[in-house]
Amino acid sequence: MSNLQQGLIVRSTGSWYEVELSDGTVLPCRMKGKLRLNDLKVTNPVAVGDNVMIELEADSNNGIIKEVIDRRNYVIRQSPRKKHYLHILAANIDQAVLIVTMVTPSLKQGFIDRFLLMTEPYNIPVHIFFNKGDLYTNKDIDNYLSLKDVYEKIGYHCYMVSALEGKGIQTINEVLRGKTTLMSGQSGVGKSSLINLIAPDLELRIGDISDYTGKGQHTTTFAEMFDLGESTKIIDSPGIKSLSYNYLEPLDIAHNFREFFEASSGCKYDNCMHKKEPKCAVKDGVEDGSISPLRYQNYLQILEEIDDQNYWERNV
């Protein structure tokens, strides 16, 4: 008689996973053998948010993950440590909340667009929260409003909040209510501070900005899901310092800038990369202002990085 049970992965610590069963019991589980994700090389074959089948070990209170139930979506990135591997941030989410800030640390050029490349393949809704609004100068506010205009025109909602002053918390709660949300962002943007305002009982550790680098320090080491009640769950993920995309083909980049893909039906060539091709609807959109020049420059930068990486691997 099989002792397989279904559970939900609520915490990942590398080689061990915490799996919540239907009765609320949480068991430490590990994997035996290899589980693969669509034949992609991944550092973590299972992730927080995955529904799995586990087998109870007879001689302990642990379990063995035997199967991953088909995912409805997942958010994946290039592994920061193994460039030829991928890392799953979360699975089976309803939406993502990206937390950034204009200051301390300054928003990296292109970071938002790089994050959206992870969510767009599954058309996962993204809400962008600009934290530390209490520190913004008039110029910072003008820059925020410009970015808000760019992203809201293509369907991503933007909000300015302040964890220090507690401003915008009601908005965050409304966005999160009744959904499973991946919460992510650059290191040091105040993600843990915002989560502590939403759910004070969690008492997440808060880090400081490095005096030497001016960059955030990781305070979340592993991904973890928290149940806030009323069908509201958040997945807290480690802070992101950089995002690269050498696992994607150039056409994947073009297709996942959503307004580029929509405009591309007007391009002369079906496989137009919107660079030097004639009669390109995307370049026309940049010229007439219907497509953001900022987004277009970020797109070209990512393509250049992929081309440079491919050249290096072919010739070295």
Q: What are 157-210's pLDDT values in tens digits?
A: 999 999 999 999 999 999 999 999 999 998 889 998 899 899 888 766 555 433
Q: How far apart are CA 45 and CA 92, in angstroms?
A: 14
Interval 73-122: pLDDT, tens: 999 988 877 777 888 999 999 999 999 999 999 998 799 999 999 999 99
Kindly report the backbone phi and psi dihedral angles of residue 90, in degrees, each rounded to the nearest multiple of 5, phi listed first.
Answer: -165, 160
CATH of 74-236, one of 3.10.129.10, 3.30.300.30, 3.30.70.240, 3.40.50.300: 3.40.50.300
Q: What is the fold, at CATH topology level, of the domain defined by 250-315?
A: Ribonucleotide Reductase Protein R1; domain 1 (1.10.40)
Phi, psi of 293 (to 5 degrees): -60, -35
Instruction: For the chain, give every domain's residue range.
Output: 4-68, 74-236, 250-315
Q: What is the DSSP letter of 16?
A: -
The pLDDT score that the predictor gives to residue 214 is 37
Q: Which amino acid is at 49?
A: G
Is the pLDDT at 40 greater than 70, yes or no? no
The secondary structure of residue 5, as a DSSP letter, is: E
Higher pLDDT residue, 212 or 228? 228
> Does the global pTM surpass 0.85?
yes
Q: Inter-axis angle of helices 293-315 and 281-288, to 10 degrees?
A: 140
For the chain, the C-alpha Rg in angstroms (whole number) is 21
**What is the predicted pLDDT for the residue at 308?**
65
More confident residue, 220 or 283: 283
d(CA 137, CA 108): 18
Give the CATH class of 4-68: mainly beta
Name the E strands within the chain.
4-12, 17-21, 26-31, 51-56, 63-68, 74-78, 86-91, 95-101, 126-131, 157-160, 180-185, 224-229, 232-236
